[in-house]
Amino acid sequence: MPEDYVQRIIKVGKKSLPPVLTRGMEIDVNSAIIIEDDWRNPIITYLQYPTLPFEKRVRIMALNYFIWNGDLVRKSKDEVLLRCLGKKEYMKVMGETHEGICGAHQGGRKMCSLIRRYGYFWPTMMKDCIDYSKGCDSCQRHGPIQQAPSVPMNPVVKPWPFKGWATDLIGKIYPASSPQHYFIIVATDYFTKWVEAKPIKSTTSQEIITFIEEQIIQRFGIP
pLDDT tens, residue by residue, 67-92: 888 888 888 877 788 899 888 888 88
Residue 105 within a domain: yes
Residue 204 has pLDDT above 80, yes or no: yes
Residue 34 has pLDDT above 60, yes or no: no
Residue type, 211: F
Selected residue with higher pLDDT from 153 and 56: 56
Residue 20 within a domain: yes
Q: What is the mean pLDDT of residues 36-57?
A: 83
Using alpha carbons, list the distances in angstroms from residue 58 to 2, 20, 54: 21, 37, 7
pLDDT of residue 36: 55
- For residues 94 and 201, membership in a common domain is answered with no
Task: Tally the domains of the chain.
Answer: 2
Residue 81 within a domain: yes
- For residues 170 and 131, membership in a common domain is answered with no
Residue 19 within a domain: yes
- For residues 204 and 121, membership in a common domain is answered with no
Number of H helices, E strands in the chain: 9, 7
pLDDT of residue 197: 93
- For residues 33 and 118, membership in a common domain is answered with yes
- For residues 107 and 24, membership in a common domain is answered with yes
pLDDT of residue 175: 85
Residues 6+ apart with CB under 8 A from 99: 105, 136, 138
DSSP-assigned beta bridge partners for residue 170: 184
pLDDT of residue 199: 92
Residue 187 has pLDDT above 90, yes or no: yes
CB 135 within 8 A of CB 157: no
Q: What b/e string do you get for 182-216 counting C-beta neighbours within 10 Å, with b at 16 or more?
A: bbebbbebbeeeeebeebbeeeeeebeeebbeebb
Query: What is the rounded distance in angstroms from the CA atom of residue 84 to the CA atom of residue 65?
Result: 9
- Residue 184 belongs to domain with CATH number: 3.30.420.10
Query: What is the rounded distance in angstroms from the CA atom of residue 189 to the CA atom of residue 91?
Result: 56
Domain assignment of residue 14, given as a range: 3-138
- For residues 101 and 208, membership in a common domain is answered with no
Residues 6+ apart with CB under 8 A from 158: 164, 189, 190, 191
Query: What is the rounded distance in angstroms from the CA atom of residue 104 to the CA atom of residue 222?
Result: 56
- For residues 32 and 72, membership in a common domain is answered with yes
pLDDT of residue 195: 93
